[in-house]
Amino acid sequence: MSVGVLASGAGTNLQALIDHVHGGGGVRIAAVASDRAGAPALERAARAGIESRVFAATEFDSRAQRDAAIAAWLQERGVELVVLAGYMQLLTDGFLEAFPDRVINIHPALLPAFPGLGAIQQAIDHGVKVFGASVFFVDGGVDSGPLILQRAIELPAGSDAESAHDLLRPVEHELLVEAVRLIAAGTVRIDPHNSRRVVISR
Ligand code: GRF
């Protein structure tokens, strides 16, 4: 299975995929795209010998045009699954239609709680005692698609967003790696009777 990764930032989730799924179990990361020139994720791709490209907002007249260009670039590279690994842009419907039920995202909260930006801070401000990570199929909403995997951990009293994120990062990495492996193995499907439910046959 050829995977395309979209990333805007540090790229630690991309690195987890490079280290643990790329080149094994029939999975290959074929392409990495970013909206940000200079994103460390691009260096991680380069070090792994993975082709990458920047699609900056300024190069396109609209989000739809940029997304169409990204989708075409990924399709030319044979990408079958798109992984959002810290991609800080919302995708337009046109992009999602190019990869139906084939775009996944990782979010640092136990969805449907705390969607959107600053999820960890939202959770801290709410006073939660546990938080976690969710991997889901992307739909047209903000962090609203069908959940594939979730994992919870305790939020230690007095945590700030940075220390909480440091605790969560290894959990995110494990969860995303597991989700990609399960999808590659053909064990993940959306319940035909309830499109909110993802069924995993392990
Ligand atoms: C992760 O916390 C992920 O859940 C969120 O963005 C962050 C990306 O981190 N969507 P990195 O760039 O993979 O290190």
Would you kindly state where each structural domain of the chain is located, as residue ranges?
1-100, 106-202
The pLDDT mean for the chain works out to: 97
Tell me if 172 CB under 6 Å of ligand 1: yes
pLDDT digits (tens, 9 = 90+) for 34-79: 999 999 999 999 999 999 999 999 999 999 999 999 999 999 999 9
107 catalytic per annotation: yes
For the domain 1-100, what is the CATH code?
Answer: 3.40.50.170
Closest CA to 135 of 63, 169, 84: 84
Which atom of ligand 1 is least distant from the CA of 11? 12
pLDDT digits (tens, 9 = 90+) for 132-172: 999 999 999 999 999 999 999 999 999 999 999 999 999 99
Alpha helical stretches, state H, 27-151: 40-47, 63-76, 93-98, 119-126
Are 1-100 and 106-202 in the same CATH fold? yes
Choosing from 22, 107, 126, 173, the catalytic residue is 107
Neighbouring C-alpha atoms within 13 Å toward the C-beta of 43: 6
Give percent above pLDDT 90 in the chain. 99
Q: What is the DSSP letter of 28?
A: E
**pLDDT band at 25, cuts 50/70/90?**
confident
CATH number for domain 106-202, candidates 3.30.70.640, 1.10.8.60, 3.40.50.170, 3.20.20.140: 3.40.50.170
- Residue 202 in this model has a pLDDT that exceeds 90: no
Q: What is the DSSP letter of 27?
A: B
Tell me if 146 CB under 6 Å of ligand 1: no
> Is 20 in contact with 38 (CB distance < 8 Å)?
no
> Residue 102 class from Cβ within 10 Å (0-12 exposed, 13-18 middle, 19+ buried)?
middle
Q: Could you tell me the pTM of the whole model? A: 0.97
